[in-house]
Structure 1
Amino acid sequence: MNHVVIIPGNGAGDVMAANWYGWAKRKIETIENCKCDLRNMPDPIVARESIWIPFMRNDMECGENTIIIGHSSGAEAAMRFAEQYQVKGIILVSACVTDLGDDNERASGYYSRPWLWEKIKENTEWRVQFGSTDDPFIPWSEQKQVANGLQSELHQFDDKGHFMSTSFPKLIQVVKEKLQ
């Protein structure tokens, strides 16, 4: 059974009704031999690494056969997870490398040390990234740093903003391709 986990960005509210998350979960679960986990995360506002990584490991059971889809803060969680543990692959949406001067982001802990690009690459079979040059929160230069560091398969857009739409067909296409 293929295991796909969606790690949302930080924020409050039901993740099933936020952005494309619930839509993607339903679409992924129609793929043969595939289950998808999407949950309201503990500590949803600050999204502390010290809380999210153990939750991903212990509660969501992310492991070597898991595809982690991470959006925004969830992308940073996916990368930090893959620094420590083997996973099948990671799909990063609106990823960045610094706290961008934001106190809440700084408090998450993801940006307190250098990114271990080589370790992430060793612990993943593949890495895909979605980024948009018109993202109002994440500068394109930060997204490019992630792509360069991870040698990710980068899907660049100029009209998707922070990927906060209610559907994301290209994501489902990529998941299907990676499960082939």
Structure 2
Amino acid sequence: MAATGPRRDSARRPKGRGPGPRMRSVGSSVAGELAQRRSARSAGWWIGGLTIFVMLAFLLGPTLKTYVDQRREIGALQEQVAAQRADVAAMEKEKALWGQDTYVEQQARQRLKFVKKGEKAYEIIDLDQAAEAPTGATGQSAAAAKSRNAWYGQVWESIKIADNPQGVGR
């Protein structure tokens, strides 16, 4: 084989110079086909990637929403548990108070108007409050009825008042 001269490869060829006139017509059609194949392949990749993304969004979206909702619910339940623990602590403190005889006696005197033998019970009524107190069906103020009666008498008076709210005779 005879060497016709040094051959330049395409990487060392000066820019702007393409193949000879004979190769241009064949090369341009091949290059066009390659460009179309690449763009079709690139579009296929984009469509495939987009399809996978949409499928993942549809599959993982509800799961992610459920996860977020459950985390929110767990937070609310933890707050509720903390509030209930505070209530339990307050109730235990009150239970300890009810274990003391002096506290029980104090509550009986305040709530039920109990007195010991030989004691006289007095209740001071503020005149301003007595004047503002609503009158019941019997024409008496609720504060006056409360001060006169024991707790069971107060219950009976409230029943009578509730039974006849317009104040139409007894």
- Shorter-chain TM-score bucket reads under 0.3
Higher relative helix content:
2
TM-score by length of 2: 0.18
Q: Which has the higher contact order (CA 8 A, sep 6+)?
A: 1
TM-score by length of 1: 0.17
Higher relative strand content:
1
